[in-house]
DNA sequence: ACCTGAACACCGTTCAAGT
DNA sequence: ACCTGAACACCGTTCAAGT
């Protein structure tokens, strides 16, 4: 009376589960209709019953990511602090599946969770004194920045399979370090810092802090 | 005694020229080996004499963009002002071929022009009091931010062919504007601002200003 | 309702062969 | 040195047909 997972019939959620695993282990490029069908022991065309096009499937992946966000409730904290908390929540969700993070960009205004996040961001920026247009602009930049922050985080070279990550980084670092120290003194000195990352948590905190500081700097209330 | 352009023999630069035109007019996705060969009235395999893989061709496109940058010389201006000038130069170059901008990210440390730009950025940030590691971090974020700033600029939805841009935007705007004003008051109010852009120049200035303000905010000298 | 077979129009890439 | 022919292993997608 066990449900064998070889024949539990297909399902939107089952497909997305497998696609997410595939993206995590082999990168987004490995997520193809045909490969996915193979993994699910089904014919490629079967997926077209559940998704109209591949884009719909990818949109589903983006929505999955954004759906994980637990957008912080309004609080009594200063607006900049609330902004930081929102971006923290976003980055936290994106980091759970970095390979899929780029897909979130296009879905942010198209799914429930993304709209809630954006609405709260606009609200917080209004507290900072930004006009509607300015707030929209800052919010857009903020969300996009967090996505690239995760997308090309230390461990994750974009489009490169998880296995080749380390060797890729090493090659880049060596190339930098062996540049002429006369022409590129700072590049050579920063070879390590530019290609790796000592503290991962610090990397994300810094990226978030940079954006919050920018918002504070441009805020009419400062 | 005219050189007919049907039979001037192939050449790395000729291929890149045509690829750039193709990307500009039909998007980066239209740049395929086979399509490019067709445009050049040559067989697909001919391109493999001039480029080892398609990635090399794309790298060439990225280098083209970065090669256009005229990195400002060191000056007596305040460091934040010099940073702004550097980012201005970068954005200016990227905007000449926005479809190709994403390719610049991977090439920034691999081509001459990109290295000069990065070196100067690190130098300017050192003037701002940043440590080597901090400067590397800020520089990385700055350059990546400018790339996405251009990549998803008002007129250019990523991956969408130039023709479908306007209708795409309209659909998004209508979807936003017709949301429940009770649940999403600010989203509805910002529907226009989030999906279009009144002043293009202002859009880029704002994106640059946001980053410079962030750097100023995090600078030990402030 | 849910899936398959067969087919179409695409990709990037290799390798031997032509001039 | 520079290009072609033929072939391979992939893609996404459609459409009629099966159960």
The answer to whether B14 CB sits below 7 Å from nucleic acid chain D is no
Whole-number distance in Å between B49 CA and C15 C1': 13
- Provide the pLDDT confidence category of residue A157 given band limits of 50, 70 and 90: low
Q: State the pTM of this model.
A: 0.93
Q: Please give the backbone phi and psi of residue A76, each rounded to the nearest 5 degrees, phi first.
A: -90, 0
CA proximity to B24, closest of B143, B145, B163, B154: B163
CA proximity to B61, closest of B36, B86, B34, B88: B36
Q: Does position A182 have pLDDT exceeding 50, yes or no?
A: yes
Q: Are B125 and B135 in contact (CB under 8 A)?
A: yes
Question: Whole-angstrom Cα distance, residue B60 to residue B36?
Answer: 14
Q: How far is the alpha carbon of A126 from chain B, nearest alpha carbon, in Å?
A: 9
Q: What's the Cα-to-Cα distance from B152 to each of A208, B10, B59, rounded to whole Å?
A: 20, 33, 20
Minimal-distance CA residue of chain A relative to B176 = A109
Lowest mean pLDDT among A88-92, A174-178, B7-11, B148-152: B7-11
What residues of chain A lie within 8 A of the CB of B105, using their CB?
Answer: 152, 158
User: What pLDDT is attached to residue B170?
Assistant: 83
Q: How many residues does chain A have?
A: 222
User: What pLDDT is attached to residue B155?
Assistant: 63
Share of chain A above pLDDT 90, in %: 82
Per residue in A57-80, pLDDT tens? 999 999 999 999 999 999 999 999
Per residue in B60-94, pLDDT tens? 999 999 999 999 999 999 999 999 999 999 999 99
What residues of chain B lie within 8 A of the CB of A152, using their CB?
Answer: 105, 144
Q: Does position A8 have pLDDT exceeding 90, yes or no?
A: no
Q: Are B160 and B27 in contact (CB under 8 A)?
A: yes
User: What pLDDT is attached to residue B4?
Assistant: 37
Give helix A79-95 / helix A200-218 axis angle, nearest 10°: 140
Q: Are A103 and A61 in contact (CB under 8 A)?
A: yes
H-run or E-run covering A172: helix A165-177
Compute the CA torsion angle B173, B178, B181, B187 (nearest 10 deg). -20
- Provide the pLDDT confidence category of residue B3 given band limits of 50, 70 and 90: very low
Q: Does position A114 have pLDDT exceeding 60, yes or no?
A: yes
Contact status of A62 with chain B (Cβ, < 8 Å): no
């Amino acid at each position: 009376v066990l449900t064998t997972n070889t024949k539990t019939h297909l399902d939107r959620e089952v497909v997305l589960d497998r696609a997410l695993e595939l993206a995590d282990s082999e990168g987004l490029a490995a997520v193809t209709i045909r490969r996915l069908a193979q993994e699910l022991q089904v014919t490629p065309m079967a997926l077209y019953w559940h998704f109209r096009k591949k884009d719909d499937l990818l949109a589903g992946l983006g929505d999955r990511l954004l759906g994980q966000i637990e957008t912080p409730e309004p609080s009594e904290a200063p607006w900049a602090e609330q902004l930081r908390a929102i971006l923290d929540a976003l980055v936290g969700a994106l980091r759970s599946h970095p390979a899929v993070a780029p897909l979130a960009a296009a879905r942010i205004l198209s799914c429930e969770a993304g709209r809630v996040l954006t609405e709260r961001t606009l609200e917080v920026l209004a507290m900072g004194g930004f006009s509607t247009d300015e707030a929209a602009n800052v919010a857009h930049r903020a969300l996009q920045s967090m996505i690239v922050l995760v997308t090309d985080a230390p461990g994750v070279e974009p489009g490169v399979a998880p296995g080749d990550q380390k060797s890729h980084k090493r090659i880049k670092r060596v190339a930098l370090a062996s540049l002429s120290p006369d022409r590129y003194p700072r590049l050579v000195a920063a070879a390590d810092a530019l290609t790796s990352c000592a503290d991962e948590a610090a990397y994300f905190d810094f990226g978030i802090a940079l954006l919050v500081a920018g918002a504070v700097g441009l805020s009419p209330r400062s």
